Structure 1
Amino acid sequence: IIMVSSARNTGSSSKCQAALHQGLPSDSFKYLGWCDIEEHEVQGNQLHCPRVREGPSEEELFFRGEEHTLKKRKQVTDTEKWQKKLQENWENCAELNLSFQDLGDHYQVEKFKRTLQRLIRVEKLWLVDNSLTDLSAIRLPRCRELNVNKNHFTSFKQLPKIPQIQHLSLAENNIMTLSGLTDFRHTPLESLILKRNPCEFQEGYRQW
């Protein structure tokens, strides 16, 4: 019985490995944004955590052995790019979750930052677990609530400009010192979460 069971398991394992090598049916969509997928009725304001990063170039996909993901791709004209930008309408977004973006390449980080620069009216923003290190060039003039937990910030100076911030969460980053915290004295900051940062071990840090 054990031998038969092992044989069956081996066969199943081989099939699973073959299926993984060939890729899942959804793999052809994994590098597409929501508005790049044809024949759907999804609206931007229905998405809880939209992906804004770009996929790899065709050359990079061939190098990775993922050329099968090109099946759903097509050449995009400048007009279509402009229509997509209008459709996303980041400028009027008031509440947004852009967490878990898996920003593995430099060009994806740059695309992500360009999106953040368009958030001129956002009031609540979640950027959890994006491996972010420096957003100092970003300004979020109306942001009242910002969650950047589980990133790689080492200083308050690396945060975006947030003059209206009330609630800021920086848990599980790498904030070493409280230097720069005084910059928030001119903001309406009410709560600041710094748990699981090295600065927790700084003597008297709660008095700040």
Structure 2
Amino acid sequence: MSESSSGVNTLSGSFPKSHSSQYSDLGVTRTPLSVDQSPDSGLVSTPLPSRRFRFVSWHRLEQCDVTGDQLSCPRVREGPSEEELFQREGNDTCLERGSSSRRRREEEGQRWEDRLQENWENSLELNLSYQDLGDPFQQENFLRILRRLIRVEKLQLVDNSLTNLSSVRLPRCRMLNLHRNHLVCLRQLPKLPAVEHLCLSENAIGSLGGLGALGSSPLRCLNLTRNPVTFTQDYRARVFLCLPKLEILDGIPKLPEDAQQFPETTRMCNIL
């Protein structure tokens, strides 16, 4: 597979339900899509050069000038190898040592070739939503991919059942969408030194603990709707007090009553 010379583009905000036409229509349509600039979404949609490949694994494409950073919602939920499944089942049958060693070398070589084709490091705008990560192997592989996104600026991770991203650092990410996951604490977020728009709606976040880690970031828009933490007393005032640069919370701009001050004995020390 040759490496594409086209720039990295973002993905569509919609996801078709049918996968039957993924290999048809070899022509690429580049029709401009609508741009979502709502303050609480923090997401921008622009055309994708290879929408017909959106549900195809990047290293399974043959004779196509497309790389992993051009796929909309590419499949990263590859399952365990047959050898790993064999070991999990506790089968006592021993494979012949020579053939097993040869097979392992071939698999490692193929795995290395696949990783070279992934090209995640060059992704600027990427959608890895709806991955259906049901196996621990798939979750580990997903975290491995996230750690390689050193240049990504806009990232969508919607509905992936994610529970902990604290081991991930996204140094250039400005817009991150973690809508509908299983986060229970803000300390489970990735390191986001440059984030400006962050969507955490429909998770299970129950407290503001760890919010102080975002205080040094240029965060301007935060969405915590449909989280238990929104029922906290003086919720909005506490969030704005901890994040002085924040302009919009849950889709509502900062209001005069959000500038409430607290006694020195209770000033946010419990959430930093």
Q: TM-score range by the shorter chain?
A: 0.7 to 0.9
2:207 alignment counterpart: 177
Distance in 1 between the 2:150 and 2:62 partners? 31
Higher helix share: 1
Q: Could you give the per-residue CA deviations for residues 29-61 of structure 1, whole angstroms, max 9, x where no partner exists?
A: xxx962343535261344111111212443759
Question: Could you tell me which amino acid in structure 2 is paired with residue 48 of structure 1?
Answer: S
For residues 139 and 46 of structure 1, do their structure 2 counterparts lie closer, same or farther at Cα, with a shift above 3 Å needed? closer
For residues 120 and 33 of structure 1, do their structure 2 counterparts lie closer, same or farther at Cα, with a shift above 3 Å needed? same
Distance in 1 between the 2:152 and 2:236 partners? 30
For residues 82 and 58 of structure 1, do their structure 2 counterparts lie closer, same or farther at Cα, with a shift above 3 Å needed? closer
Structure 1 length as normaliser, TM-score? 0.73
**Residue 39 of structure 1, aligned match among 62, 68, 71:** 62
Q: Report the identity percentage.
A: 52
Distance in 2 between the 1:166 and 1:92 partners? 21
For residues 38 and 126 of structure 1, do their structure 2 counterparts lie closer, same or farther at Cα, with a shift above 3 Å needed? closer
2:73 alignment counterpart: 49
Q: Could you give the per-residue CA deviations for residues 4-44 of structure 1, whole angstroms, max 9, x where no partner exists?
A: xxxxxxxxxxxxxxxxxxxx9x9xxxxx9623435352613
Q: CA deviation at 1:84?
A: 1.5
For residues 82 and 48 of structure 1, do their structure 2 counterparts lie closer, same or farther at Cα, with a shift above 3 Å needed? same
Question: Could you tell me which amino acid in structure 2 is paired with residue 41 of structure 1?
Answer: C
1:156 alignment counterpart: 186
For residues 206 and 90 of structure 1, do their structure 2 counterparts lie closer, same or farther at Cα, with a shift above 3 Å needed? same
1:124 aligned onto 2:147: no
Q: Could you give the per-residue CA deviations for residues 55-86 of structure 1, whole angstroms, max 9, x where no partner exists?
A: 2443759x9xxxxxxxxxx9954333222211
2:7 alignment counterpart: none
Counterpart contact for 1:33–1:52, Cα < 8 Å = no
Counterpart contact for 2:58–2:71, Cα < 8 Å = no
For residues 46 and 38 of structure 1, do their structure 2 counterparts lie closer, same or farther at Cα, with a shift above 3 Å needed? closer
1:1-208 aligned within 5 A: 34-37=57-60, 39=62, 41=64, 43-44=66-67, 45-58=69-82, 76-207=106-237, 208=239
Counterpart contact for 1:149–1:173, Cα < 8 Å = yes
Distance in 1 between the 2:171 and 2:70 partners? 24
**SS of the residue 1:186 aligns to:** coil
Distance in 1 between the 2:136 and 2:108 partners? 23
Distance in 1 between the 2:63 and 2:201 partners? 37
Structure 2: segments with no counterpart, 5+ residues? 1-19, 23-54, 90-102, 240-272
1:21 alignment counterpart: none
Structure 2 length as normaliser, TM-score? 0.57
Structure 1: segments with no counterpart, 5+ residues? 1-23, 27-31, 64-73
Aligned length, in residue pairs: 168
**SS of the residue 2:176 aligns to:** strand
**SS of the residue 1:152 aligns to:** coil
Distance in 1 between the 2:130 and 2:65 partners? 20
Distance in 1 between the 2:126 and 2:157 partners? 9
Q: Could you give the per-residue CA deviations for residues 73-129 of structure 1, whole angstroms, max 9, x where no partner exists?
A: x99543332222111111111111000000001111000000111011111111110
Q: CA RMSD in A?
A: 2.6
Q: Relative CO higher for 1 or 2, CA cutoff 8 Å, sep ≥ 6?
A: 2
**SS of the residue 2:141 aligns to:** helix
